[in-house]
Amino acid sequence: MAKGAIHRVWADYDVTYGGRRGIMIHASMAITERRSAQSPQVLLIYWFYYTDGKPVPGVSGEFTDSGGNACVFEPVDTPYQSTGYDDFSAFVPYEALSHQGSGSFSAYANAALFEGDTVIAWAPKVLSFTLTMQDVHGHEKGGQTQPQRTTRTTTTMTAPNTGDSGGGGRSFGGQSPAQRYRQMFDIPPGASPAQIKQILDREYQKYRARVNSPDLSARQEADRMIVEIGKARQVLLPQ
């Protein structure tokens, strides 16, 4: 299994790409320990959320995940065992970020690197920005315009592959990562790699089913635990 790191994320706004206006998101990142060309595809994915934590609905199939929420993803070419990018770009048009209210709205983006269905790097709130209805929908009919856009800001985030991102509320004290994940997922002492994989696969399916829950706290927990399962695979399963 590869390892990944998202070092920095920034954005250009009001970019026209493919005839559409939107946000060009840039990332500095690295993927290491890719084992072979037969390894699963690496994807960089951004999800978009309102500042209250609710996902921004998607309106374009090209920029919508399986739960109907706005996202953008790009396959990452990894021709070598270790591949780094100083500026890897992904474009999301304003029109893909649905908003039915009036005035402006503020949002942020989370980022992740996946190898297949396994998270190898996670970086929350890598961008924050404000859009107006003019950005999303263009000028209104009759020549009237929406409010002028407000200032957009960006943040940067370093995303190591280990560390504590929650873990369902359990306390793990000074335990090693392996001890933490064995306790977190109730993995018995002496479990074989095949048994560990079976337990983690079962946990992944459980939380994957909750990603589209109507309950916001359940969705947030599911996102967090899917990341933890990806980290647990790296720590507990032989590479």
Segment 34-61, tens digit of pLDDT: 887 667 889 999 999 999 888 898 887 7
Q: Is residue 79 located within the same domain as residue 133?
A: yes
Q: Is residue 39 located within the same domain as residue 98?
A: yes
Residues paired with 10 in a beta bridge: 26
Q: Is residue 187 located within the same domain as residue 148?
A: no
Assign 133 a pLDDT band (cuts: 50, 70, 90): low
Note whether residue 165 is domain-resident.
no
Q: Is residue 116 located within the same domain as residue 218?
A: no
pLDDT confidence of residue 5: 94
Q: Is residue 138 located within the same domain as residue 183?
A: no
Note whether residue 67 is domain-resident.
yes
Mean pLDDT of 129-141: 65
Note whether residue 37 is domain-resident.
yes
Report DSSP state, residue 64.
Answer: B
Q: What is the pTM of this model?
A: 0.62
Q: Is residue 35 located within the same domain as residue 150?
A: yes
Classify 109 in phi/psi space as left (phi over 0), alpha (psi -120 to 50) or beta: beta
Assign 101 a pLDDT band (cuts: 50, 70, 90): low
Q: Is residue 17 located within the same domain as residue 118?
A: yes
Q: Is residue 90 located within the same domain as residue 134?
A: yes
Q: Which residue has the tokens 């997922």?
A: 185
Give whole-number Cα distances, 85 to 9, 15, 53, 82, 177, in Å. Answer: 12, 21, 29, 10, 28
Domain count of the fold of the chain: 2
Q: Is residue 184 located within the same domain as residue 150?
A: no
Give whole-number Cα distances, 178 to 93, 231, 237, in Å. Answer: 41, 10, 10
Q: Which residues fall within 8 angstroms of residue 185, CB to CB, at 6 or more apart?
A: 199, 200, 203, 229, 232
Q: Is residue 116 located within the same domain as residue 207?
A: no
117-130 pLDDT, tens digit each: 788 998 999 999 98
Domain of 201 in residue numbering reads as 177-236
Mean pLDDT estimate for the chain: 78
Whether residue 149 is predicted with pLDDT greater than 70 in this model: the reply is: no
Q: Is residue 50 located within the same domain as residue 150?
A: yes
- Using DSSP's 3-state secondary structure scheme, residue 229 falls into helix
